[in-house]
Structure 1
Amino acid sequence: MADTTVDPSRHVYGSPEAPVTVLEYGDLECPHCRAAAPVLRELVDSSDGRVRLVWRHFPLFEVHPHALTAALAAEAFAAHGRFWDLHDEAFAHQDRLADPDLRRYAAAAGIDPDEVVGDGAQRWAPAVEADYLAGLAHDVRGTPTLLVDGARWTGHLTVAALTAATAPRA
């Protein structure tokens, strides 16, 4: 039987040892998540290793018809150490997340397209479901939802505001 344990910190941008964690519940088809991505990257990149970003899937499949298949494809990419590649590709082309598009992205990345869509992608469903259920447990209702060291972020999504929220406390 396959191991169905899912590492909740599996998609980390930045140093895995960073003392501050920004956890994002996101949807790869969500325009608000696309807008947040460069802000979160800049936060991590300018933190001198103090902040890491952890992504968890929260596909809003009722409003974004390709969000779930994109999440499954991202997990397939992650199995090849390429999660952030599909993350970025999805945000760059949110209007092209149908199965033929995902197959094309996989082929371009040297990944078997049959792992990324259709029946082959279903092996990644437990990981996406675990993220989604964790989001429900955190009362996530929309995306992006951010938790800064476990506390829900409700401020403006700017680098300055997040930098202040993640700064060392005196």
Structure 2
Amino acid sequence: MSTLKPIVSEIDHIQGNKSASIEIVEFGDYQCPYCGDAYPIVKEIEEAFGDQIQFVFRHFPLQEAHEFAFKAALAAEAAGMQGKFWEMHDALYENQYRLANDLFDELAETLGLDLEKFTADVNSDEARDKVENDFESGVRSGVNGTPSFYVNGTKFDGGATDLYQMLKESAE
């Protein structure tokens, strides 16, 4: 049984109720088609369960397979430094079909970010360290592909649809 290492803390990107009874951590890659498919389902889970869940996203860019995955993760981190991590997270998945180097600045502009700061932050050690630490956490937690979900610290064996089904059944 794989467990989440390290546990969720204030350095994570957390959405939802911090005192929720269900904590879902996704290790994802912005260029992974399976993560792209899981994205609307995760949104649905968040809507359906509201305050009962806390959702955490950790980066797991598969650089060998996806040339823009690492850059996309850096763009999300840079947006996060301006308080817009989740907005960039959503925009990257919603525009996954056109991921390319010029997309990141375009999304930053759309989100109203300070572009000079965004460019500097994308290239910062802070952004790179966060993405690398998330990836390392995935390796230590037994992630072997994306998306990988952990529910209350334990690896969930299945995809987003299975996760939604399990949550619905346990809520009944």
| Deviation for aligned residue 1:156 | 4.9
- TM-score between the two structures when normalised by the length of structure 1: 0.84
Runs (5+) with no aligned partner, structure 2? 1-7
**Partners of 2:81 and 2:121 within 8 A in 1:** no
1:144 to 147, 153, 164: 147
**Partners of 1:27 and 1:144 within 8 A in 2:** yes
Q: Does 1:126 align with 2:124?
A: no
**Partners of 1:72 and 1:125 within 8 A in 2:** yes
* Worse overlay, 49-58 or 93-102: 93-102
Runs (5+) with no aligned partner, structure 1? 1-5
AA at the equivalent of 1:43: I
Q: Are the structure 2 counterparts of residues 8 and 33 from structure 1 closer, same or farther at C-alpha, using a change threshold of 3 Å?
A: farther
Q: Does 1:161 align with 2:163?
A: no
Give, in whole Å, the separation in 1 of the partners of 2:97 and 2:118: 18
* Aligned length, in residue pairs: 161
- TM-score between the two structures when normalised by the length of structure 2: 0.83
Deviation by residue 1:102-157 (Cα, 9 ceiling, x = unmatched): 1111112221334444x541321111111000000011121000000111111353
Between 1 and 2, higher relative CO (CA 8 Å, sep ≥ 6) is seen in 2
Q: Does 1:82 align with 2:87?
A: no
Give, in whole Å, the separation in 2 of the partners of 1:66 and 1:35: 17
AA at the equivalent of 2:168: T
More helix per residue: 1 or 2?
2
